[in-house]
Amino acid sequence: MEVREILLGDEAVALGALHAGISGAFGYPGTPSTEMFEYVEPLAAEYGIHARWSANEKVAYEEALGMSFAGKRAIVSMKHVGLNVAADAFVNSGVTGVNGGLVLMVADDPGMHSSQNEQDSRFYAKFAAVPCYEPKNQQECYDMVREAFDVSERLRLPIVLRMVTRLAHSRADVVIGDRRPQNGLNPPTDKQQFTLLPTNARRNWAALVARQGEIIGESEASRFNRLELEGRDRKIGIIANGVACNYVREAFGGEVPHAMLSISRYPLPLGLIRKLIEACESIYVFEEGYPLIEEAIAGINGIGKPLHGRSDGTVPATGELTPAIAMDVFGIGRTGGIKSTLGHVPGRPPKLCQGCSHADSYTLIKEVLKDYPVKRTFSDIGCYTLGFYEPFDGVHSCVDMGASVSMAKGASHGGLFPVVATIGDSTFMHSGMTGLVGAARDNANMTLCILDNSSVAMTGTQETMATGDALYNVVRGLGVPEEHIKIINPLRNKMEQNAAILKAEVEYRGLSVIILRRICVQAARKARG
């Protein structure tokens, strides 16, 4: 009998990977990718596999690559900007190739629901010259990841599975297949493949480039790239990718009257694209993400017939696509929608929770900085970025994981004073440590506040790498002098004494680290059950 399960897109990837016989799952939390790992984690014992969060995405990717080296299958997950962190390992893994199957699930966030940018991971797959899958629905999430592991072992390459928020965080029922056993231990017999000395790397890279024709051929033949010409109107030819294909179909009420090429496997199926262009009078590219397909088609001289997409403004240049946008692009009238008699509906941005330690930390920092004419605070990625809003007004930068520390250091060298930075415990362990080593060596004139709430809070209170004493020991070990490491609990009734401590360290002409230690209220609630 057919077995169906209700799964988020992320969870369908996870179950597909489990059924494909992975021996390990690796990752760092990041919306909208987190649920892939979270689905696997509690099943790790049952499946006899390794699953524990890594310190950051680069570490996670390398751990997965190491498991592949051993001959086993591994999945690694991260959000799109996490792939920037893992890019060194990822791009080079195209040159090493893999041994056991390796699939990277990277979740993009078009529209920036919960991110700093809307970069498109398909470019990374192209950059590393490795295949990429892009599921349209939850069933494909499950099916593609299984196929991707087989392809990974056949081509001996890592495979990218590109997710987007709308699929990662959407549920549907999925038909489940059989469970494949794990691979046996089978490390590589040659020592060149994974050793990227220039002499090996040049050979591997040339071989990878030489195989692109074969890899493109697989895209042409893939059941996930579909060209529909027969019986279709050819005045307009449509090219869409991943979930954007759904929006086009939805816009036309299920049946698209025009010629259409749906792309869900890369590198681009050049032959199929040529066929569509030759057959049609004009081409519309409806692409979720950056105009990767559109630019590849346009080149410099264009295609000799009208080409429309994000580049010419036919499709909005930025942001997430929707069925409504597809209707507008293809001139399908839309009605409906009711006007609110309220007129303006005030926004309701997210907030720090009742009792959140970050709220008290920002109140403390604001109190101490009130005496200084220039108040600039560097912050980082996490719930505490919400300190940007009133009444805290305590964030003047948030760029990337760990940037608070290094930007503060740079600004201090530029003469800014006082320099205060805030970073959470998990973000610190992810990428703050490396910045702090330099700050300690130079004794940079800055005060780093580590908001230690024992949790990766924003993504759902995942386990953190080091908290409490372990975190203190890390800070000390990085070279920060003990007399300038202060641990406080940012309680409101200790405001006066805490302010005196913080003020003294801000005034100290050198590096100080204040650890503001109090558990996240959500994590505490979860721990209580």
Taking the complex as a whole, the smallest distance from the CB of residue 307 to another protein amounts, in Å, to 25
DSSP state, residue 179: P
Angstrom CA distances, 218 to 128, 130, 225, stand at 17, 12, 10
Please name the amino acid found at residue 398.
C
How near is the Cβ of 175 to another protein at its closest, in Å? 12
Of the pair 193, 461, the CB lying nearest another protein is at 461
In whole angstroms, give the CA distance from residue 295 to residue 428.
38
Question: For another protein, which residue of 116, 170, 192, 397 counts as binding (CB under 8 A)?
Answer: 170
- E-assigned strands of 205-293? 226-228, 233-241, 258-263, 265-266, 282-286
Shortest distance, position 164 Cβ to another protein, whole Å: 10
- Candidates 91, 196, 229, 353: give the one binding another protein (CB under 8 A): 353
517 touching another protein, by CB under 8 A: no
Q: Binders of another protein among 7-66, rule CB under 8 A?
A: 31-32, 34-35
Q: Rounded to whole angstroms, how far apart are CA atoms 286 and 519?
A: 46
Residues between 328 and 347 with contacts to another protein, criterion CB under 8 A: 334-342, 345-347
CB of 67 to another protein, least distance (A): 28
Do 368 and 413 meet the contact criterion of CB atoms below 8 Å apart? no
At its nearest, how many Å lie between another protein and the CB of residue 161? 17
DSSP label of 467: -
Binding positions for another protein, 86-125, rule CB under 8 A: 113-114
- Element of type H or E holding 388: none
Would you count residue 243 as binding another protein (CB under 8 A)? Answer: yes
Q: Is 504 in the site for another protein (CB under 8 A)?
A: no
Cβ 453 vs Cβ 519: under 8 Å: yes
Residue among 179, 203, 235, 351 that touches another protein (CB under 8 A)? 351
Beta strands in 80-142 (DSSP E): 102-108, 132-133
Using CB under 8 A, pick the residue from 173, 278, 371, 507 that binds another protein: 173
Residues 247-276 that bind another protein (CB under 8 A): 247, 249-251, 254
Those residues whose C-beta lies under 8 Å from the C-beta of residue 424, and which sit 6 or more positions away, are 380, 382, 383, 384, 450, 451, 452, 453, 456, 457
CB closer to another protein, 168 vs 293: 168
Kindly state the smallest distance separating residue 479's Cβ from another protein, in Å. 34
Query: Least distance (Å) from another protein to the CB of residue 354?
Result: 9
Helix (H, G, I), strand (E, B) or coil at 448: strand
Distance between CA 38 and CA 57 in Å, rounded?
15
CB of 513 to another protein, least distance (A): 26
Distance CA 246, CA 164 (A): 13
List the one residue out of 360, 439, 239 whose CA is nearest residue 421.
439
Give me the residues that bind another protein (CB under 8 A), please.
4, 6, 31-32, 34-35, 113-114, 137, 166-167, 169-173, 243, 246-247, 249-251, 254, 322-324, 327, 334-342, 345-353, 383, 386, 458-460
